[in-house]
Amino acid sequence: MELNRETVTKPPGARLAVPFLQIKRSKVLTAETGFGRRDDTMDNIALNLPFTLTILAGSYILYSLGLIIYNLYFSPLSKFPGSKWVIATYWPEFYYDWWCNGKYLFEIEKMHDKYGPIIRINPEELSIRDPDFYNEIYVTESKRRTSHYDVFCKGIDFDGSHLLTVDHDLHRRRRKPLEPFFSRQGIMRLQDMLAEVALKLESRIRALEGTNTVIRLDHAFSAFSGDIIGKICLDSGDESKTFLSHPTFNPECESNSIPLWLLEAENKPNFLTGSRVVSFIPESILLRAFPRGQMFNNFKEVAKQHIYRALKDTEESKRTGKEDTHHASLFHYIATSDMPESERSPERLAKEAQVLLGGGTASTARTIGFTSFYIMSNSNIRSRLEDELRDVMAGWPQRVPSWAELEKLPFLQALIKESLRLSYGVMHRLPRISPDVPIQYKQYTIPPGVPVGMSAYFMHSNPKAFPEPDKYIPDRWLGKVTPEMHRSYVPFTRGSRNCLGMNLAMSEMSLILAVLFRPNGPKFELFETDESDVKQAHDFLIPLPKIETKGVRAIIP
């Protein structure tokens, strides 16, 4: 007897219980009958899509809840105080730094006020606000090894540079060849080059005298600093391609653009992907998404060409036995050194070039602009500075004062120190990791491998060291400079990973301020610029003023 197929019943939910069998059966029937059952297959997929999405969403929610519970109660850092909201997830940090444009540091400050000197600021990172403990975090290698927190590497392709090298020993090997060029002795050898670039900036300003032209001084100072680091790294000799040769001082090099691009490149891809997916995105697409990166990209390509040429010159000199007579720029020296070949690759050294351009331009230019604003906005400060510069700058440009001479001018140096105090150098927290041994802070033991940092903003805002810390008071550096002031003053950080370019920055700032504000210097006055155009409002690695600022503007009568 033939079974009536219509009388066969299926248990409720059988169709949903085995969706993959339904799809497979559909494919078999298609093969057996010889004609299409694609419509049935697509219907099955469409019916099962809500079920699949529900499973995925439920799994994600369960995973997230489990992670939150772990972060709150079972993490090795659960004993450290902090807001439950920020301990549980990274969303608060993302919200304040990305959506609110670099405001998380100020939330960290509020949390320190509430919870004490040591707090968790996200699921895996600690922050300390205690000037007496700064030197225990930022230590020299003689005390212990220090690793970099690689969250700042992810999403930006600079991790081959010495600055963002995570491992302590590899960082030391990469940094060591750079140090002679940025030592005090190395900077002394660059004085003629610094004077040449400073004179070019002065000439650009003097060429506009009598025109009532308004210029962006922050653009001009970024071009000045950018050209100096470009000459140190590459020294192509082509003056037509320098930033100072640009009609408007190449605003893409302006100090605000660099940290804004880094914020975009660091936060957006890193947060949204949680990985280095960004490094696989075609360069053309990335540059459309982050147009401020075009300048960095151009500089990288020029650096690669220079490095390839240096390697070729070295091979040629070895082959012919003739000495390579090319000027030994920083990368010419490194490319021809005895470093391992993997460390001398044009790709890696080009990343060093990009990092040096950013680090050697943004913070230095901002500090020069910051100082210039307070000089121009206060006639007493300007006249005092002119009086101090009168003798040492009398022979300029035929006689260039040495950096050592400018260092002996107390008021000039007081202006620079107070500007560095209020512009912070790098404002963003710079977490460090002790990979081998725990760090003891009072009753808290910080396990090895845990990132912990302290912002220069906290140090420089310490009212015990700097009374009225929000005010620009250069005279505080002319009286008795207390040990507390020395201890709390960290514009270049400290330890084995301190700022490589601090000598260059101090020399640049001293010279250009002396050139521009000496008696009989170029004439320019502040134009529609107030303190809100220079004072920190956002933490974008370096501090930036309000987003809508028009910069430090000056009119040239």
Q: Please, what's the b/e burial string for 134-157 (b: 16 or more CB within 10 A of its CB; e: otherwise)? A: bebbbbeeeebbbbbbeebbbbbb
> Which 3 state secondary structure label does DSSP give 147?
strand
Tokens of 395: 């022979």
Q: In this predicted structure, what is the pLDDT of residue 370? A: 97
Q: What's the mean pLDDT in 398-421?
A: 98
C-alpha triplet 55, 59, 65: angle, nearest 5°: 145
**Rounded Cα gap, residues 249 and 78, in angstroms:** 51
**Rounded Cα gap, residues 431 and 152, in angstroms:** 10
Per-residue pLDDT tens for 60-80? 899 999 999 999 999 999 999
Q: In this predicted structure, what is the pLDDT of residue 234? A: 79
**Rounded Cα gap, residues 308 and 237, in angstroms:** 17
> In this structure, is the dihedral angle defined by the CA atoms of residues 109, 114, 117 and 121, taken in order, positive or negative?
negative
Query: In sequence order, which residues have a C-beta less than 8 Å from that of residue 421 and are 6 or more positions away?
Result: 460, 466, 489, 491
**Rounded Cα gap, residues 244 and 246, in angstroms:** 5
Q: In this predicted structure, what is the pLDDT of residue 407? A: 98
Q: Tokens 């999403």 sit at which residue? A: 155
Q: What's the mean pLDDT in 31-40?
A: 50
User: For residue 481, is pLDDT > 60?
Assistant: yes
H-state helical runs in 189-338 = 191-206, 217-233, 257-273, 283-289, 294-320, 330-335
> Which 3 state secondary structure label does DSSP give 318?
helix
- Find the range with the poorest average confidence among 141-155, 196-210, 409-423: 141-155
Per-residue pLDDT tens for 307-337? 788 777 777 777 776 665 555 678 777 877 7
Per-residue pLDDT tens for 240-272? 678 899 888 876 655 555 444 444 444 433 333
- The residue ranges of every structural domain in the chain are 19-72, 168-278+352-425+491-556
Q: In this predicted structure, what is the pLDDT of residue 147? A: 96
Q: What's the mean pLDDT in 438-463?
A: 97
What single string gives the DSSP state of each residue in 438-454? -EEETTEEEPTT--EE-
Cβ atoms within 10 Å, residue 181: 24
**Rounded Cα gap, residues 476 and 458, in angstroms:** 18
User: For residue 495, is pLDDT > 70?
Assistant: yes
- Looking at per-residue pLDDT, the higher value among 296 and 104 belongs to 104
Q: What is the mean pLDDT of the chain?
A: 84
Q: In this predicted structure, what is the pLDDT of residue 341? A: 80
**Rounded Cα gap, residues 271 and 122, in angstroms:** 14
Q: In this predicted structure, what is the pLDDT of residue 284? A: 59
- Find the range with the poorest average confidence among 202-216, 286-300, 335-349, 455-469: 286-300
Phi, psi angles (nearest 5°) of residue 309: -65, -40
Ranked by mean pLDDT, the top range of 220-234, 295-309, 520-534 is 520-534
Q: What's the mean pLDDT in 449-453?
A: 97
Q: In this predicted structure, what is the pLDDT of residue 255? A: 52
Q: In this predicted structure, what is the pLDDT of residue 325? A: 52
Q: In this predicted structure, what is the pLDDT of residue 296? A: 61
Per-residue pLDDT tens for 350-369? 888 888 888 888 899 999 99
Tokens of 333: 């020296």
Tokens of 425: 């150098």
User: For residue 414, is pLDDT > 80?
Assistant: yes
C-alpha triplet 415, 400, 508: angle, nearest 5°: 40
**Assigned superfamily of 168-278+352-425+491-556:** Cytochrome P450 (1.10.630.10)
Q: What's the mean pLDDT in 489-509?
A: 97
Separation in Å, CA 149 to CA 59, 93, 125, 155, 168: 30, 16, 9, 13, 11
Separation in Å, CA 173 to CA 167, 179, 310, 355: 10, 11, 21, 17
Q: In this predicted structure, what is the pLDDT of residue 47? A: 62
Q: In this predicted structure, what is the pLDDT of residue 441? A: 98
Residues 385, 521: contact at Cβ < 8 Å?
Answer: no
- Looking at per-residue pLDDT, the higher value among 184 and 54 belongs to 184
Q: In this predicted structure, what is the pLDDT of residue 222? A: 92
297 alpha carbon, distance to own chain's centre: 16
Q: What's the mean pLDDT in 182-207?
A: 96
Q: In this predicted structure, what is the pLDDT of residue 302? A: 75
373 alpha carbon, distance to own chain's centre: 24
- Find the range with the poorest average confidence among 8-22, 170-184, 357-371, 538-552: 8-22
H-state helical runs in 70-190 = 84-88, 91-94, 104-115, 134-137, 168-175, 179-182, 184-188
**Rounded Cα gap, residues 419 and 542, in angstroms:** 13
- Find the range with the poorest average confidence among 255-264, 377-386, 512-521: 255-264
**Which segments are annotated as binding site?**
499
User: For residue 121, is pLDDT > 80?
Assistant: yes
- Looking at per-residue pLDDT, the higher value among 182 and 36 belongs to 182
Q: What's the mean pLDDT in 214-237?
A: 89
Q: In this predicted structure, what is the pLDDT of residue 301? A: 75
**Rounded Cα gap, residues 121 and 118, in angstroms:** 9
Q: In this predicted structure, what is the pLDDT of residue 266? A: 41
**Which segments are annotated as binding site for heme?**
499
User: For residue 402, is pLDDT > 90?
Assistant: yes
DSSP code, position 71: I
- Find the range with the poorest average confidence among 33-37, 344-348, 480-484, 509-513: 33-37
Q: CA nearest 450: which of 465, 466, 464, 438?
A: 438
Long-range contacts of 117-120 (CB under 8 A, 24+ apart): 118/80, 118/81, 118/441, 118/442, 118/444, 119/80, 119/81, 119/82, 119/83, 120/77, 120/80, 120/81, 120/82, 120/86, 120/87
Q: In this predicted structure, what is the pLDDT of residue 123? A: 96
Q: Tokens 């540091």 sit at which residue? A: 105
User: For residue 33, is pLDDT > 60?
Assistant: no
Residues 266, 273: contact at Cβ < 8 Å?
Answer: no
